Amino acid sequence: MSLEDIRGERIRKLEHLREQGINPYPATSTRTHTIKEFLDEHQSLEDSDTLVTIAGRIISIREHGALVFVDLFDGTEKTQAYIDKESLGSDLFELFLTAIDSSDIIEVSGKAFKTKKGMPSIRVSSWTILAKSLRPVPDEWFGIKDEDERYRKRYLDILLSKDVADRIRRRSLFWNTIRTYLLEKNFVEVETPVLETTTGGAEARPFITHHNALDIEVFLRISAGELWQKRLIVAGLPKVFEIGRIFRNEGMSFEHLQDYSQLEFYDAFKDYEAGMEMLIDLYRTIADKVYGSRVFTIRDFTVDLGAAWERYDYCELISKEFGIDPLTATSDEVAKVLTSRKISYDPKGFNLERGIDLLWKHIRKTISGPGFLIGVPAYLEPLAKRSVKNNKLVERFQIILGGSEIGKGFSELNDPIDQANRFAYQQKLRDGGDDEAQMNDDSYVEALEYGMPPAFGFGVSERLFSFLEGVSVRESQIFPLMKPKE
């Protein structure tokens, strides 16, 4: 039978229910227990002969003459409903057989009992339809195999896969563990603009749109309010954070998407050394609370967050691997190394910054972690404070896990003159064709001129969650963006 035939048959059953004076989509339920509660309390409910009402989606229906066995699922657990004609009455029993299908959502009232095989069940004395399904949910044993179809109909994927449903629960716990951790350290949660007239806080290509009321071009933010949060540090709020959506008009890969959730926080009167200690504790707290383990398999690496965290020097690694010093190299020299090592690059908009970054990425994928990448050249980071030991470097670190950068923090640049100069350099890169270079933000520089205390800032996206889960960032999202079907 085709899907349209099945749908037509179910519509006829829906109309039959209405003809019987039954609303197929009532507004309320009289449920007394979730199925999990029913199963947890089953023995006491059976001993006390208590009448209970549970509700859920019908997963399967098995008819045996005057008996019907129904498996119900409500998102907490599954259980079996035992319906017999004698207990229910002929009219309700026959209506159930003629009007109810698998995938319908019903509630049943009855008493707890165990079958001859000892299975906890409910002996049904009455039933009520809560939602008539017009399309059957696919068989849970086969599910939806096509990946695109799973994402397009994620609600079915979640319904059919306990792993996917559990991942959504862990995702919630992941973000709330971070939120609780920061709130307990007296951080203030804030919300900053999503629409901006200039993008800042990261190097990425933004989405552009038009604001009709103001008749101006605006951008969807590429960071979770970095420059806005640092304005709040200027304003005298010493500890702030935001967990919010950010948008980057870039490519898609196993670990990159265009819209995703990100944490950013700022802590006044701290530097990146203090930040490293805090981040070790935060990552271990996430591991403990969400997974109950500090050991993870990330790609081909076994990563133990409970082990000592290493430190990796950016310039030393590149010099050792490629025989080139990032602090003195020219773009031509870097291009020659890339060519000789057969590392592909786009000559359009190519510059020293992009070239050095490609060399680092070639090395990065070999490093297991956990650890911190330090010693980054100042020309690669327009928002970090220069190192007191070498002003050609910045006090920035990136957390390395399983061959990727999963989190970035630095001692925030609070020198307005240095910041203005670095913005000017970034603008020069943009003028040269690098559309990922940062935009100049004069209003932010003006805020710094009022004075911002030393501060540590850090950001990490939901990519951390996907890495700990061992799945792509697309798989770890609940509803990933999909191209519409033609």
> What pLDDT, on a 0 to 100 scale, did the predictor assign at position 201?
66
Looking up residue 174, the CATH number of its domain turns out to be: 3.30.930.10
Cα–Cα distance between 164 and 158 in angstroms, integer?
5
What does the pLDDT average to over 248-254? Answer: 83
Residue 105 lies in a domain: yes
Residue 348 lies in a domain: no
Of the residues 90, 107, 137, the one at which a domain ends = 137
Residue 185 lies in a domain: yes
Same domain, 41 and 178: no
Looking up residue 95, the CATH number of its domain turns out to be: 2.40.50.140
**Residues facing 267 on adjacent strands:** 239, 456
> What pLDDT, on a 0 to 100 scale, did the predictor assign at position 142?
58
Of the residues 137, 167, 184, the one at which a domain ends = 137
Same domain, 271 and 393: yes
> What pLDDT, on a 0 to 100 scale, did the predictor assign at position 46?
96
Does residue 185 or residue 252 have the better pLDDT? 185
- Checking if the pLDDT of 171 tops 90, the result is yes
> What pLDDT, on a 0 to 100 scale, did the predictor assign at position 436?
72
Cα–Cα distance between 302 and 290 in angstroms, integer?
18
What does the pLDDT average to over 389-413? Answer: 96
Same domain, 128 and 253: no
Per-residue pLDDT reduced to its tens digit, 9-48: 999 999 999 999 999 999 999 999 999 999 999 999 999 9
Same domain, 165 and 127: no
- Checking if the pLDDT of 374 tops 60, the result is yes
Residue 361 lies in a domain: no
Integer angstrom CA distances of residue 90 from 81, 85, 128 = 17, 6, 15
Same domain, 198 and 289: yes
Same domain, 51 and 200: no
> What pLDDT, on a 0 to 100 scale, did the predictor assign at position 143?
61
Per-residue pLDDT reduced to its tens digit, 113-157: 999 889 999 999 999 999 999 999 987 655 677 888 889 999 999
Percent share of the chain, pLDDT over 70:
99
> What pLDDT, on a 0 to 100 scale, did the predictor assign at position 140?
63
Residue 271 lies in a domain: yes
Same domain, 21 and 71: yes
pLDDT band at 206 (very low <50, low <70, confident <90, very high): confident
Same domain, 299 and 377: yes
Same domain, 53 and 202: no
Residue 151 lies in a domain: no
Integer angstrom CA distances of residue 268 from 178, 183, 190, 224, 455 = 19, 15, 15, 18, 4
Same domain, 125 and 172: no
**What is the token pair recorded at 239?**
């500890």
> What pLDDT, on a 0 to 100 scale, did the predictor assign at position 400?
97
Per-residue pLDDT reduced to its tens digit, 416-468: 999 999 889 888 888 887 777 788 889 999 999 999 999 999 999 999 999 99
Structurally, the chain folds into a number of domains equal to 2
Residue 290 lies in a domain: yes
What does the pLDDT average to over 53-76? Answer: 95
Same domain, 53 and 98: yes
Which residue range is the domain that position 439 belongs to?
158-309+369-476
pLDDT band at 408 (very low <50, low <70, confident <90, very high): very high
> What pLDDT, on a 0 to 100 scale, did the predictor assign at position 77?
96
Of the residues 87, 104, 137, the one at which a domain ends = 137
Same domain, 184 and 251: yes
